[in-house]
Structure 1
């Protein structure tokens, strides 16, 4: 798959802002790898929607790639790290986010993995919903910015703001949640649900509602590090973003800061 140099993202976003989509038109997801290392984004579509990027692809450091998605598309993206894939059939493995040992994912990534989640509106008057989630743990920072006329003009009740996680959660991850790489370095930070199980951490059983499942000291650690990302299952009010259907989106891996244009 062809990638573009980093400076091309500026031109691409200018084009988005000058035109922008409509709810029934194809939408654009632009991926920007700002990491100092290669990542292998995984894509998973829901509701029978089109598979974007073939399900997964390679992105060297400082490259940009864009895909169109149909109106009504729903799914998630995440970055896989430390991958080794064979050239013959794309089989291999990743240190984090692995989706069954294949380059092109047909299932979700192995936790912990930082997720960017989207549900796009179908028609005019619909809303897009998007977020960055640490509910399944964290592997690298991910940021989402809305672009185009729909994001600029907005509508009553819209919150087309930045969603994401700039901080290095791995650097502050408690020992009991750390996932170590081949050299012993921390490559991921598990959720308390994955590490310990239980209704309290997983919001299951008698704690399967917003009124009965609240933040824990572990989810609060995630929230302190990443205020614009989901820290546990019912962290909706400060984490879900909405935008008028028709916006395009920039997904940045290893964002250096929150974009001023993100609001």
Structure 2
């Protein structure tokens, strides 16, 4: 019996040392409508127990995952089944035809939370990206981290109403309300907006007025391909809370609780939030970019 106990303890220690212990995502829906989270594992990464599910307003669900995992999570909206029974979503659709995405990624535009867990130096790397456009406010909070900054990140502002006309996606074949905001790359296909071709390096690909729309509103989010310095965060040994449509006061509560450094960019640009509200009913592109620059 003593020998069996010793073996069990040795196995447990080896698991801890090798980083096999798991972490978790607690996914919370604060939106006033159902959101269908989608999850996609990266190449050569273990698959998760779910790749998509319905999350009603006010509900939450915890998804366990291995420590050495990389992938992304996003929210799908305006989902349902068509006359042939195929499941599809108005934004963030993953093309599987089912609630489970089954290895399919989000069709842009969609707000993405991206993770590489237990990466270099045992750190988790995470960000919220608007590089592929935007469809929902999202907040990522690290809980119980041991090393790294473990800062909250995300985009807490509803950008759909104030989205530039050239990027706006509307329901009802373009005649209804705004439901998403495309990236300039998707909208125009221009290499300078896509950071491709002759613009495929940090020196040649610079922020555009369109990416600055996202950055001004959501200072910690990725706004274009080389926005690394102000958009990637690290933590070690944490679990993560991912909130769709966080309440307006959430950012202040998070920063107060974590006592984050004043050097960090704010989660929300309050001036831009005011402009979003003021011009939500049809702002011109110049109206909201100029005051924030």
TM (normalized to structure 2)? 0.76
Return the alpha-carbon distance in structure 2 between the equivalents of residues 109 and 96 of structure 1: 8
CA RMSD of aligned residues (A): 2.0
Map of 2:176 onto structure 1: 184
Structure 1 residue corresponding to 2:94, chosen from 99, 105, 114 = 99
Q: Name the counterpart of 1:221.
A: 213
Q: What residue in structure 2 maps to residue 166 of structure 1?
A: 156
Map 1:92-241 → 2, pairs under 5 A: 92-100=87-95, 101-105=97-101, 106-121=103-118, 125-148=121-144, 151=145, 153-154=146-147, 158-182=148-172, 184-241=176-233
* 3-state SS of 2:91 partner: coil
Partner of 2:285: none
1:43–1:53 Cα contact (<8 Å) kept:
no
Gap runs ≥5 in structure 2: 1-15, 261-293
Q: Which of 80, 84, 87 matches 1:84?
A: 80
| Gap runs ≥5 in structure 1 | 1-20
Greater RCO (Cα-Cα under 8 Å, separation 6 or more): 1
SS of the residue aligned with 2:78?
coil
| Bigger Rg over Cα | 2
TM superposition shift of 1:53: 4.7
Normalised by the length of structure 1, the TM-score is 0.84
Q: Is the 8 A contact 2:119 2:125 kept in 1?
A: no
In structure 2, the residue matched to 1:11 is none
Structure whose residues are more often helix by fraction: 2
Aligned to 2:68: 72
Q: CA deviation at 1:92?
A: 1.5
Shift of 1:51: 2.7
Question: What secondary structure, in the 3-state scheme, does the structure 2 residue paired with 1:206 have?
Answer: helix
